């Protein structure tokens, strides 16, 4: 499992290619609750612009320490796993894995 440290009020984006069958699965464990989103490039752009409304295909917009989800993506190309640490003071140590 890759391990990352996400600073206070920071986010990480990891880019992946959509598999042929569109089926993806991810697991995540963190020492502090984090939000996740599965987004296309356009959704990521809107998120980066500070928009509150953007389309996402999975993830957990309510912060959680443990996350597991299987999703079939209805598009081709690339997608991003966006991990957001909203805590103002604490970094989040995150272990995550994505399966095809």
Q: How many domains does the chain have?
A: 1
Are 90 and 32 a contacting pair, CB within 8 Å? yes
pLDDT at 78 (0 to 100): 97
CA-to-CA dists, residue 83 to 9, 20, 21, 96, angstroms: 11, 24, 24, 10
* CATH number of the domain enclosing 39: 2.60.120.680
Portion of the chain with pLDDT greater than 70, in percent: 99
Report pTM. 0.94
Domain ranges, residue 92: 3-99
pLDDT at 66 (0 to 100): 98
* pLDDT tens-digit series, residues 7-44: 999 999 999 999 999 999 999 999 999 999 999 999 99
């Amino acid at each position: 499992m890759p391990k990352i440290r996400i600073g206070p009020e920071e986010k990480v984006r990891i880019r992946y290619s959509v598999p042929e069958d569109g089926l993806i699965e991810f697991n995540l464990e963190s020492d502090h609750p984090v939000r996740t989103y599965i987004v296309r490039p356009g959704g990521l752009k809107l998120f980066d612009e500070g928009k509150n409304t953007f389309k996402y295909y999975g993830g957990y917009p309510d912060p959680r320490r443990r996350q597991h989800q299987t999703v079939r993506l209805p598009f081709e190309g690339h997608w991003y796993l966006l991990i957001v640490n909203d805590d103002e003071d604490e970094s989040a140590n995150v272990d995550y894995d994505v399966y095809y």
